[in-house]
Amino acid sequence: MEADTTQVGRARFAVSAETFALLAYVALFALFLIVVSGATVRLTGSGLGCDNWPRCGSSFLPEKNFHALVEYGNRGVGFVVGIVTLVAAIGATRVERLPRWLLWAAWALPVTVLMQGVLGGITVLVELHPLIVMAHFLLSLLALGVAVVVALGAHDFVRGVVKHPPLAANWLAVVLVPSALALIVTGTLVTAAGPHSGGEKIKRYGLLPDALHIHVGATGIFAIAFVGIVASLLWHRAEARGDLVFAAGVLGLLLIQMTVGDIQWREHLPWELVLIHVTLATAVWVGVVTLAARLLLRSRPVLP
């Protein structure tokens, strides 16, 4: 009788695989939003809109000026993202037969958001030191990448076991993600050396021409890895049609991003265009991680 009561209690608080997948997608969207929100803070020069943390000046509420509201708004978005990822992680614990790796990945999300919040506070306390700002941004991208894996894993878990024959692209995907990360890291170097350091009195980090040269080199390395994957998918297009279509979508995003990057350079880096460029770069990162995860996760059973 007692065992039956326990089973009824578990069933009452159980979360369906479909609900968990929905929570995973919401967490992914929220983490994308915080990256864009953080970029807005930097590009509008609002990094020290609240010159201390966790307070904003002499109180917990911001002053009625643009920079303080932008900075405080980013903190509010971060708090919401923390709640959303925590709910997704708790939901993962209530899904029956969820793979252990997917459960741990789901719990990694609120942990990285917490770390991101602490690092964001340190960023303010050290008055936007460029290296800490870069680390803060890259930690956001790490959380976003994990969220992509969780969302894709949850989606596949709903569908059941998915097996694809191994392709050369499966192994090239291992190279694609680090090359994309290198591309983004060098992009942060360009931003640090450019006119958008996060505040009016923040020093630039490095020389813009040098940083741009490194970024262009990283772009070439990424392009080689991406072309290699596309070539492999074309060779196996009969069995990899879905992945090939997805890769074409990522390529479209890349071309748009490159166009915006060229325009922003010719227009002397207005912050609105830089924000669009950063948003597209974040979307490309999501696309690249998704493509790599599709190739790697779906070459073996998803269910334990």
Tens of pLDDT, residue by residue over 128-161, are 777 787 788 888 889 999 999 999 999 988 887 5
**pLDDT tens digits, 231-266:** 888 887 777 788 888 888 998 998 898 888 888 778
To the nearest 5 percent, what fractions of the chain are helix, strand and coil?
A: 75, 0, 25
* Cβ proximity of 149 and 181 under 8 Å: no
pLDDT band at 109 (very low <50, low <70, confident <90, very high): very high
Does residue 304 surpass a pLDDT of 90?
no
- Cα four-point dihedral sign 171, 176, 177, 182: positive
Q: Is 59 helix (H, G, I), strand (E, B) or coil?
A: strand
277-to-106, 187, 274 alpha-carbon distances in Å: 29, 10, 5
The lowest-confidence range among 35-39, 203-207, 279-283 is: 203-207
Taking the domains of the chain in order of start, what are their residue ranges?
A: 11-160, 163-304
What sign does the CA torsion over 263, 269, 275, 281 have?
Answer: positive
pLDDT-derived band of residue 20, with 50, 70 and 90 as boundaries?
Answer: very high
Tokens (6 digits) for 294:
């599709």
pLDDT at residue 3 in the model: 44
Predicted local confidence at residue 265, as pLDDT: 75
Average pLDDT, the chain: 80
Amino acid at position 210, single letter: D
Q: Note whether 5 and 233 are within 8 A (CB).
A: no
Question: Token pair for residue 77?
Answer: 């978005």
| Amino acid identity at 154 | A
Q: How far is CA 304 from CA 19, 163, 293, in A?
A: 20, 13, 17
Whether pLDDT at 165 is above 80: no
Nearest to 205 by CA among 299, 91, 129: 129
> Are 82 and 110 within 8 A, CB to CB?
yes
DSSP E strand boundaries for the chain: none
Report which DSSP code applies to 202: P
Please, are residues 295 and 254 in contact by the beta-carbon 8 Å criterion? no
Predicted local distance difference test score (pLDDT) of residue 144:
94
Residue 19 has pLDDT above 50, yes or no: yes
Residue in the block written with tokens 């993962």 = 92
Structure tokens at 51: 């010159």
**First vs last Cα of the chain: how many Å apart?**
31
